[in-house]
Every structure is written in C-alpha cells, then in structure tokens.
Amino acid sequence: MQRKIVFVMHILLILAIFQTSPVCAWHPGELVITGDVAQEVVLAGYQGWEVVGLEYRGEAQEAIRLLPVLQYAGVLGAEGSIFLSAYDGVGAVLALGEITEECYLRLTPEYGWQFISEHHPRQAGVKFLEYVVVAAAGPDLPCLRLISGTTETVISYGSLFAVDSVQRLIIEGEAKKGDFTAAPFSRRSLIPLAQFLNKQEAAAVVAYLGDGSQVEVSLAGYLEWRGQSADYLGPDGRSRKADVKALWADAPETAVTELLSQALDALGEGRVLIILVDGLGFFELQQVQPPFLSSREVQQARTVFPSITPVALASILTGALPSEHGITARGMRELQVPDLFFYASQLGKSSALVEGNTKILNTSIRPILNPDLDGDGSTDYEVFQSAQEQLAAGVDLVFVHFHGYDDTAHSCGPFSPEAGEKLLELDGYIQALCQGFSGTVFVLADHGQHPTSRDKLGDHGLASLLDLTVPWFRWEQP
C-alpha cells in the first residue's frame, strides 16, 4: 500500500515537471473560457477533452473542439458573441451561432492556444489566446447594474469585457534589500466609472457587493473586469472592493437598516406600530396612489442585496447589512446579531411579530403565525385581525408582515391591476390599524419587484432600481 502511494506520487511529480517545464521560449499559458457562462473553464492542455486529428494548412494537426468546451462551461443566454482575445490584446469577435463542430482549439509551442476554423475568415485564427469570453444576450444573465436617477444601465459580465477601458500603471509598493529597492507594478485595464454615471466627479456612489455589504465609492474610481464578475478600484487604482453587483449614484439616503434605531428611539417615547408590505416597490406605490398612504409623506429608501424576504427582513429587524447579520440566502434563519425585539425587551417593552403562515427567521420572540383561515388564498385578512388583537391588548411594539402584495405581484406582475387592487385592500387594513392607535407608525417594504416575461410575471432578488427602491413612511399617530 505504502509503495503504491509513493509510486503514484512519483507519477504526479513527473507530470508536474512535465507540465511546468518550458518547451520553448513562449510559454503557452492557460486559456480561460469565461464571461456569461455558468462556470469558468481553464484549459492547460487537452486533458479531459476528445482530441481530434485534422488537416490544417496542409499539415496533420491535433486539436480539441470548442463547442463541447462551451457546453461544459454552460453558455448563459441563447445568442451573443464570443471574444477570442490574445495575450497581446488583439483578437476577433465571432457570433455564438456560428460556432460549429468544425471550430477547434489547438495548443502548440509556436502559437500557444489558437482558434482554428476553415469556415471562418482568416482573421478568426487568433494565436496566443488568453481568453474566450462569452458575451451572451438574454433576460437572466448575471449583470452589473449602474443606476443613476431612474436610469439603469445593465451590462452582463461577459459584455463588460468589451467596454472601453484605460491602461493604468499601478505601482504596488516598494521592496527593499539592503540599499537596493524595487517597486513592483502592474499594468491594468480599468473602466472609468464616470463614463456610466454622468454626475459630478465628487459625487458619492453606493456600491452593492456580492457578500451583501454596501460601501460608498467614488465616481473617480474604476471597474475592473474579472471574467464572471467585476471589482471596484478606487481612484488610486489599488484599493479594491470585490464582486460589485450594482453602483448606485444618488441612492436614497434612507436605508431599511435604519428602522431598528428609529423604532427604538420612538419606543422610548411611546408605542410603535411597524407595517411591512412585502414586495411593495416605491414606484408601484406611486402609480397606485392608495388613498390612506397617499395622505402621508413618503420617502424613498434603499433595501439590501440580495433583495429577497429573509435577507431584507433580517436587515430591517437587526439594523445590520447581510454581511453582518449572516442571512444571505433563502433557507437561512439564524441571526448573528440581536434583533429589534431583543432590544425592546431590554427597554422593558413588550413586542409582537405578526406573521403570515410561515416562520421566516428565528427571531428572539416567537412569531404569531396566521394561516389562511377564510381560504381566500391570502393571509392578509388574518394578519390584519391578529395585529388588531395585539394592538387592542396594548403591546408596546407591534410588527405586522403582510405577504399578499408580493404574492399577487409575482403572479400578475408588479404594475398589474391585480397588484393595484391588492394594495388598495392593504391600504384599508393599514388605515384601520392606525385608527385608535396612538404612537409612531412606520410603513415600509422589504424589496420591490420587477416585471418578467417568464412563468411568473414579477420577481425580485436583483440589485436593480425596482427591486431595491422601497417606500418609507414614518408618522406620529395622535
């Protein structure tokens, strides 16, 4: 057994030497298939791929087919382009639809990775390939969003490869050895932010990052393409924020994470009623103009990413970003930080969480669940009645979560007449809850929705203007 392991290790060592020892002046390097694909593929050789013998320019060659590599990577979207990009920055753009079984990738000591196709023009035969970047088209691509006012520019990560960039030489520091120094540098392709977000240079922008954090960045900064994602780099070209999902110029100053501190302040003065209208985007509210809510002053607020119920609810109840409270996806329930109800109890205040028919998070108090007793397909009426009971019982802090608007917007679309009807119904419940209540009222949403053209007509979860912009009401009920 021991000998077998040693033997295997010998083979691995030989393979390692074989793979890393230069066979010529040019090291072929690795070819990365990236962009709008499900998974990035790095080709260091033909291993794992069917090697095909072919005749090319009168010589017998060996190569692998490009199509199975693209299929393995999983091209997202039905159509688009592929960029064949060489180490020296030259390349060729081909139509995805024109990649056939006769398109090959060849690796030779003379030319590194090279694209070969007898059907394509000679210019497609790019040598020393570094990247094959898929820039696909389609509705569900992972995208970078640049939001300014009500304008949203959406660029898939594959397409970002083709966006104009500037070359910057970035000094990475200074190394010393005795009296001698060396300052390592790298030459980087950086995409100036100002070309998308046409505002004052000094204006601040909120960056939404993949880990659920948000940071303020500068318009004088840059984006750097990273294959299937993009990083933000500060004006110095060095300070880096990885995995940018959205950049939002003039984002609403109010954030849903402020509810916790505002509600606790108000709780010091009297009773607090918080009403969460699941899925109600700011722009939908503006379109419907429900009579009761429209008689109050509304602000825009920004929610968190990913813009889904458990993540946003956790931020609303803890005042923390997803990167801090630990809820970053569906199915996660354990909060890493204390919630609103814990702080309320520290103040000696009673609280109630009036929910629909399911528990979403493990909060410090047990939610009051309300199944759809009247069988009308929604828990809203039951939630309304349950909330009325809690208010009548004199509970200091009542948090009410209406789910019906989100459900209707999913099935009928966020700007549909049906969703508008639902909002009018909820507007009536909110008005009724406020009657006879004395204290501070907050009304907000966890996220909005955007229209889709697939099986459901509305959805959310993106770092998009419609999903991230929610209404925020606060008023004193005498």
- Amino acid at site 295: S
Other Cβ atoms within 10 Å of 10 Cβ, number: 10
Residue 14 in 3-state DSSP?
helix
Residues of this chain, 191-210, that bind Zn ion according to CB under 5 A: none
| Closest distance to Zn ion from the beta carbon of 395 (Å) | 24
Pick the stretch among 152-160, 163-171, 268-276, 443-451 that binds Zn ion (CB under 5 A): 443-451
Tell me which of 36, 130, 406, 467 binds Zn ion, using CB under 5 A. Answer: 406
Select the residue whose beta carbon is closest to Zn ion and give its number: 309
C-alpha distances (whole Å) from 384 to each of 32, 160, 273, 439 are: 55, 47, 13, 18
Half-sphere exposure of 397 toward its Cβ, with a 13 Å CA cutoff? 27
Residues of this chain, 262-281, that bind Zn ion according to CB under 5 A: 278
**CB neighbours of 383 closer than 8 A, spacing ≥ 6?**
354, 355, 356, 370, 400, 401, 402, 403
Q: Is 425 in the site for Zn ion (CB under 5 A)?
A: no
Cβ distance to Zn ion smaller for residue 130 or 446: 446
Pick the stretch among 114-122, 134-142, 326-334, 445-453 that binds Zn ion (CB under 5 A): 445-453
Query: With contact defined as beta carbons under 8 Å apart, do 433 and 380 qualify?
Result: no
**CB neighbours of 55 closer than 8 A, spacing ≥ 6?**
61
Pick the stretch among 130-138, 189-197, 406-414, 415-423 that binds Zn ion (CB under 5 A): 406-414
Cβ distance to Zn ion smaller for residue 224 or 446: 446
Cβ distance to Zn ion smaller for residue 191 or 470: 470
Give the CA dihedral 141, 143, 149, 151, nearest 10 degrees: -50
Question: How many residues bind Zn ion, per CB under 5 A?
Answer: 4
Pick the stretch among 117-125, 177-185, 306-314, 346-354 that binds Zn ion (CB under 5 A): 306-314
What's the rounded Cα separation, in Å, for the pair 440 and 478? 9
| Closest distance to Zn ion from the beta carbon of 330 (Å) | 10
Cβ distance to Zn ion smaller for residue 278 or 380: 278
| Closest distance to Zn ion from the beta carbon of 38 (Å) | 24
| Closest distance to Zn ion from the beta carbon of 189 (Å) | 38
What's the rounded Cα separation, in Å, for the pair 92 and 87? 13
What's the rounded Cα separation, in Å, for the pair 95 and 85? 14
Cβ distance to Zn ion smaller for residue 309 or 390: 309
| Closest distance to Zn ion from the beta carbon of 340 (Å) | 17
| Closest distance to Zn ion from the beta carbon of 200 (Å) | 35
Which residue in this structure is represented by tokens 């949203």? 152
| Closest distance to Zn ion from the beta carbon of 457 (Å) | 12
Which residue in this structure is represented by tokens 């814990």? 342
Pick the stretch among 158-166, 186-194, 422-430, 439-447 that binds Zn ion (CB under 5 A): 439-447
Instruction: From 455, 440, 445, 441, select the one nearest 423 (Cα to Cα).
Output: 445
What's the rounded Cα separation, in Å, for the pair 428 and 263? 23
| Closest distance to Zn ion from the beta carbon of 450 (Å) | 11
Tell me which of 159, 218, 303, 309 binds Zn ion, using CB under 5 A. Answer: 309
Residues of this chain, 52-71, that bind Zn ion according to CB under 5 A: none
Tokens of 326: 């630990």
| Closest distance to Zn ion from the beta carbon of 397 (Å) | 21
What x/- string results for residues 354 through 393 when contact with Zn ion is judged by CB under 5 A? ----------------------------------------
| Closest distance to Zn ion from the beta carbon of 312 (Å) | 7
397-402 β-sheet, strand order: 298-302, 469-477, 439-444, 272-277, 397-402, 351-354
Q: Is 446 in the site for Zn ion (CB under 5 A)?
A: yes
Residues contributing to the site for Zn ion (CB under 5 A): 278, 309, 406, 446
